[in-house]
Amino acid sequence: MAEHDTRIWPPTEDTLPLGLGPAEWAASPTEDSATQRQPGLLLVDDDPFMLGMQSRMLRSMGYSKIGTAGSAEAALALVLAGRAAVDVVVCDLNMPDVDGIEFLRRLGDSGFAGNVILLSGEGPRIIHAVQKLLAGRRLRILGALEKPAGRAALRALLDRWHPLAPAQATDEARVPACTADELHAARQGEQWVLHYQPKVDLQTGALTGTEALLRWNHPEHGLVYPDRFIGLAEDCGAIDALTGWVLGAALAQLSRWHQQGLLIQMAVNVSMENLRAPCFARKVGALVRHSCLSPQDLTLEVTESRVMALAPEPLETLVRLRMQRFGLSIDDFGTGHSSLAQLRDVPFTELKIDRGFVHGARQNPLIRPMLEGSIGMAQRLGLQTVAEGVETEDDWALLRELGCDIAQGFFIGQPMPGEQLHAWLTDWQARRPRESAT
């Protein structure tokens, strides 16, 4: 290995030499509790000047467990050897030989479950792409900063580190594998549950409707979320029965709310497979009539990636549904590849912007123009706009400024059992943003 690859820089007293063992990182009896709660930091940068400057700045901010490595190889060797308790790696993306992307991939493959701050002179688009590349690994990205990072910005990211935060379980570890037999048993055993998430008018704050979201109340695993079984249901031919159940239960709930004077709408997600069945539009029409509701009370949400493979049969069903005056929503807009083609070809009434373009848009120079563009386009096409993933008051305020019609997300309300909607509404009316009070 070349000499410059393995050097520890700078070998001065204001950084902890990483050649030392873990004991040096552990709290000594004389360390105060504030120091003990500090993360062990490892700065990785090929520029000695930058390394020295960063470590001095961090030390002046009160951090004392600071190590440096002048190359990705040196940093990997150190982390893999377990010679220092590294909690947060602060990493330059542009390094010669092994660049920051390869370094982080290898760090992730090594099982390192610590945190990472990306430091780079690259613009936000590259940093965003790297964050996406690392998603799904055990590495947790605390954030990314453009170089040179200021004290306040670095402090804000380091404050996100928590000494007792458990290592994040991967999706695979958390979720059980489902089988077709289990799906069948779930139907027999009445293990399906619907939760309802409120949708509210951004101008008035009024509740306009709810989206029905399916959960599987699994006897062993508790509530299992739809991403784990909808695909399986489509593959094993159970999706028609499942959607039939969802429609029946959601319309029965809506009918109860209407009887109580809550005149709102219902949105139900439908699978592309459902739309292939020639009788689907007729069956939905019959169900609505049976519930003494009208088609305008129901919006069917179609996920864009599924609409992508639009064949004549699903298009026919969608046109039939629209001719009966059901609402049609293009769900998760922006996540597929053919969104514009689908918008052109299907008589949608609503464009539902994916949460990846909503939460945090005000501060994000990459997604904000996409959000603005989507809302503007929908308005010009005469479509209702719904933003999902509204998680903060700031998200809410921006959408209001941009003229979006409807908001849905954790800021307003989590998906909940139907009987909790009245209590949620009372709470929401008390806390909804003031400028939207009527």
Question: Applying CB under 6 A, does 384 fall inside the site for ligand C2E?
Answer: no
Tally of CB atoms within 10 A around 210 = 28
Pairing mode, strands 265-270 and 406-407: unpaired
Q: Which residue has the tokens 């020295």?
A: 52
CA distance 77 to 365: 36
Here's the x/- map for Mg ion, 282-321, by CB under 5 A: it reads as -------------------x--------------------
Q: Residue from 324, 391, 394, 403 that binds ligand C2E (CB under 6 A)?
A: 391
For 384, the token pair is 């209702």
Which one, 115 or 299, has the nearer CB to ligand C2E? 299
The closest alpha carbon to 409, from 206, 192, 171, 211, belongs to: 211
With beta carbons less than 8 A apart as the criterion, state whether 421 and 198 touch. yes
Q: Assess whether the previous peptide bond of 39 is cis (omega < 30° from 0).
A: no
CA distance 304 to 322: 17
Shortest Å, Cβ 37 to ligand C2E: 29
Of 73, 182, 304, 388, which is the active-site residue?
388
- E-only strand ranges, 202-312: 207-218, 222-224, 265-270, 298-303
226 binds, among ligand C2E, Mg ion, none (CB under 5 to 8 A by kind): ligand C2E
With beta carbons less than 8 A apart as the criterion, state whether 274 and 239 touch. yes
Which one, 240 or 301, has the nearer CB to Mg ion? 301
Shortest Å, Cβ 239 to ligand C2E: 7
Shortest Å, Cβ 68 to ligand C2E: 36
418 binds, among Mg ion, ligand C2E, none (CB under 5 to 8 A by kind): none
Question: Applying CB under 5 A, does 71 fall inside the site for Mg ion?
Answer: no
- Considering only the C-alpha atoms of the chain, give the largest distance between any 2 of them, rounded to a whole number of Å: 79
Q: Residue from 120, 243, 269, 384 that binds Mg ion (CB under 5 A)?
A: 269
With beta carbons less than 8 A apart as the criterion, state whether 107 and 114 touch. no
Question: Applying CB under 6 A, does 355 fall inside the site for ligand C2E?
Answer: yes
Question: Applying CB under 6 A, does 197 fall inside the site for ligand C2E?
Answer: yes
Question: Applying CB under 6 A, does 389 fall inside the site for ligand C2E?
Answer: yes
Question: Applying CB under 5 A, does 331 fall inside the site for Mg ion?
Answer: yes
Residues annotated as catalytic are 388
Q: Binding residues for ligand C2E, per CB under 6 A?
A: 197, 213-214, 225-227, 230, 243, 246, 269-271, 301, 303, 331-332, 355, 388-391, 409-410, 415
